[in-house]
Amino acid sequence: MSYQAPLRDMRFVLHELFDVSGHCQQLDNGLDRDTIDGVLEEAARFAAEVVAPLNRNSDEQGCRLQDGEVTTPDGFRQAYKQFVEQGWASMTGPLEFGGQGFPQMLSASFHEMLMSASLSFRVYSGLTEGTVLALDRHGSAELKQRYLAQLVSGEWTGTMCLTEPQAGSDLALLRTRAQPQVDGSYQLSGSKIFISGGEQDLSDNIIHLVLARLPDAPPGIKGISLFLVPKRLLDADGSPAARNALSCGALEHKMGIKGASTCVMNFDGATGWLVGQPNQGLACMFTMMNDARFQVGLQGLGIAEAAFQGGLAYARERLQSRAIKGPVALDKPADPIIVHPDVRRMLLIQKTLSEGCRMLAAYAARQLDLEHGASDPAAREAAARRAAFLIPVVKAFFTDCGQEVASLGVQLYGGHGFIREWGMEQLMRDSRITQLYEGTNGIQALDLIRRKLLGDGGSELNALIDELATQVHQATAQPEMAERVGQRLEEWRALGHSVLQACRHDPEEIGAVSVDFLAYSAYVMLAALWLQAAVRASQALAAGSGDAAFYQAKLQSADFYLRRVLPRAGAHREALLAGAGCLMAMPERSFAF
């Protein structure tokens, strides 16, 4: 299955909906439209020609562990070398350490391309970018000087070591220990599981960020510290030298992303250094975690786009039966299956979810950029609040969409989708992990309710609804669509108030309503964005600005989404208003007999 980046749609989102050039001017990063388009074109070429051809074999071959060393699938080392040499690894890194400082609004498009081309390949560099973020914001000047430039360039890679066999989402149960040494370093002992890229043959060194407890640490999450632990210790001139006391004990046997090494890492008195303040490791790690959750959301989007492209190509080529109204391809023994209404239904769900998520990704990326790059402190704070609200939605909803769209891809192929030859079943297996790691989607939903909605009493939710409602009032080019979206926005506001009241009255409601409220919120946000897309398409058609078929398809896609996908929000609303009682009433013993 081939992949081509959806450049026309990416340009529409970046330039026509969100004015990425104006955004770059606001950030004062020197990027103009021509430069942005040039980057997108080169990124599309790299993803399609270098990375995508690796995907099938990486699934077939997987990673191999022998004598403590991991070998990645054939072609990964060469592709990663090109990734570094062409500057893609340093795309988002800080300028002072050799990075290019590109905004998330632009880099997210490239990262989506990589996710579509080969999710396994992208895993390695994605975690390195998170390591750079955490070290840049929380590391000492000495640690930055010794490690950041090589991480930014991609010469070295990074990992995030949180999970232990007994401590998954509940990090309060973490047991790895860090013993202070007289020279200011620490010796770390313990085991971590599910460590992506924990051992591999792509880079000269691997820099692990490890959560551990100091001897005098208080219990629970308040007693967790963060440490930098390199695979190889550095000599006097900063080059990797002696092997640290850590090792890969095993590779996990997984459902998908088999080209990404997922390791059990053993730390046997490994030398490390404190990042940030003692017992503040979780706050430091969340710098990395928030980026990782956004990136995992992009993984869901990338999978969805790849599945849509595969499904569309097959639907145009596969001949089966005749159209209900009568033959279409008179020169062929049957019509292509794209003529059938149910096939159109599946394709349009794939298309509108993928393109809708792409719009929301760009909106969220803009908040991440402004959180750190806006000149006005108040604007930075507002963007930080908005980003914090959006991240759990992006992570959970995009990855749920990725699984749904991949499943529809299998369905479109029929029996051929169930076998390995066509690649659809790989996309479905690869996408499944995205709903689990960096916090399961249920955890994301709890975060949205507990930390965001209850945390500020609904003020950020209402601020977001106010912003979207203003755009609805301005959508005079599409009055019918605007009315439908406006009604949903006010329903969302009322629903948020009801959820707040219920959760304050009964804490079990937090868990009972969370998943449905997140899904409801996402469907309504996508509706508001599809309305904006429809307005822009209407304006372009009225102005005769060319590419009429593209803009007409946008209008028709928006109409489909509002009529056939948005109604899902009503089902989520009805379900969450049913309350926690029906979930918790049944005694545990009654689940099975």
Residues of the chain predicted below pLDDT 70: none
Residue 568 and residue 520: Cα distance in Å, rounded? 8
pLDDT of residue 169: 76
437: which DSSP letter?
T
Q: Is the dihedral of CA 102, 104, 109, 111 positive or negative?
A: positive
The dihedrals phi and psi of 249, each to the nearest 5 degrees, come to -85, -25
The pair of structure tokens assigned to 27 is 């950030």
pLDDT of residue 288: 76
The whole-angstrom distance between residue 308's C-alpha and the CA centroid of its chain comes to 18
The continuous run of DSSP H or E covering 263 comes out as strand 262-275
The pair of structure tokens assigned to 34 is 């021509």
In terms of DSSP H, where are the helices of 240-340? 281-317
420: which DSSP letter?
G
Instruction: Tell me which amino acid residue 121 is.
Output: F
Q: Is the dihedral of CA 38, 42, 43, 48 positive or negative?
A: positive
The continuous run of DSSP H or E covering 56 comes out as helix 55-61
* 365 CB neighbour count, 10 Å cutoff: 27
Q: What is the pLDDT of residues 68-95, one digit of tens each?
A: 999 999 999 999 999 999 999 999 999 9
Residues with a known catalytic role: 438
Length of the chain: 593
The pair of structure tokens assigned to 163 is 């999970």
pLDDT of residue 562: 98
Single pTM value for the model: 0.97
CB distance 132 to 112 below 8 Å: no
3 state SS of 185? coil
Residue 500 and residue 504: Cα distance in Å, rounded? 6
Beta-bridge partners for 213 = 177
Inter-residue long-range contacts of 440-444, CB under 8 Å, 24+ positions, other chains counted: 440/169, 441/395, 441/396, 441/399, 441/400, 441/515, 441/518, 442/514, 442/515, 443/169, 444/293, 444/392, 444/393, 444/395, 444/396, 444/518
* 32 CB neighbour count, 10 Å cutoff: 12
588: which DSSP letter?
G
CB distance 50 to 39 below 8 Å: no
Residue 397 and residue 390: Cα distance in Å, rounded? 10
pLDDT of residue 170: 73
CB distance 169 to 203 below 8 Å: no
- One DSSP character per residue, 520-552 reads HHHHHHHHHHHHHHHHHHHHHHHHT-S-HHHHH
Residue 232 and residue 236: Cα distance in Å, rounded? 13
The dihedrals phi and psi of 13, each to the nearest 5 degrees, come to -65, -50
Instruction: Tell me which amino acid residue 8 is.
Output: R
Q: Is the dihedral of CA 127, 26, 476, 556 positive or negative?
A: negative
Residue 147 and residue 127: Cα distance in Å, rounded? 15
Helices 119-138 and 76-85: crossing angle, nearest 10°? 40
pLDDT of residue 415: 95
The pair of structure tokens assigned to 224 is 């967790």
3 state SS of 148? helix
